[in-house]
Amino acid sequence: MAYKTLIHTVKGSVANITLNRPDRYNALNRQMVEELLEVVLACHEDRAVRAVVLMGAGQAFCAGGDVRGFIEHTNTITLHVKRLLMSLHSVITCICRMSKPVIAGVGGVAAGAGMGLVMACDLAVAAESARFTMAYTKIGATPDASSSYFLPRLVGLRRAMELTFTNRVLTAEEAKEWGLVNRVVPDAELVTVVDAMANELAAGPTPALGRAKRLLFMSDHASLETQMENEAQLIALSSQTADFREGVQAFIEKRTPAFSGRE
């Protein structure tokens, strides 16, 4: 399907989604959010896709919500914001519940909801030029796009308060030190590094990766005993898969496993 605000391609087992409003620093308007929801759902359902990459076109990853567009909805701003967030929050839920790994490749600014999207992805690689800022209180708004959920979990409550109250801009290296991104690479290497990471994950045991992701999310609200029971149930399911049998056989034969990504 052709999208007006996104570029969506699939190469091998990796789906690439590029936010494509470079003239507006990939700011999220209603059309982009609705198209993003559609393409994320498609990636979720496509069994051939085993890893997903999210990036931005031009000089930014995503500048957050399209604040300029808010002016056009002055008389119905509450309704406009709620409609926008219904779709955006569904996007984030889908990313977090997806069994495939989702990688953010961040070049330029990731602000507001753009920063929220980065935090919602499973892994994040930043170019040296990347900058991160919450930006919400700068316009008298409060956080959305899962920011208030992920930020304190990634950086701690004190730092989350600082970033939210002051809109401090973090460099890529600071974002790595604070736990917002996994790696920082030269700008010219961003696409190559993210592509290599995605292909490595796409060759992995997809069901096991999805269940591991699920377990890590469960750990936020489970007791030790409950979490160990969750682990027991999911490893029992994993032991029934073709990938598990292949992994065990490859270990015995001292070779690299060839995972199919199937149950």
| Catalytic entry in 66, 122, 144, 243 | 144
Contact 127, 107 (CB under 8 A): yes
Rounded to 5 degrees, φ, ψ at 65 are -70, 155
**Placement of tokens 């900058």 in the chain:** 131
Q: Is 144 a residue of the active site?
A: yes
Residues 44, 96: Cα–Cα separation, whole Å: 11
| Catalytic entry in 44, 73, 80, 89 | 89
Nearest to 185, CA basis, from 230, 125, 101, 131: 125
Residues 262, 206: Cα–Cα separation, whole Å: 7
Nearest to 99, CA basis, from 216, 8, 214: 214
Residues 251, 228: Cα–Cα separation, whole Å: 25
Per the DSSP assignment, residues forming a β-bridge with 158 are none
Beginning with the edge strand found earlier in the chain, give each strand of the sheet holding 109-111 in spatial order: 60-62, 109-111, 131-133, 170-171
Residue 106 corresponds to which amino acid? V
Q: Is 89 a residue of the active site?
A: yes
Residues 110, 26: Cα–Cα separation, whole Å: 10
Question: Which residues participate in catalysis according to the annotation?
Answer: 89, 144
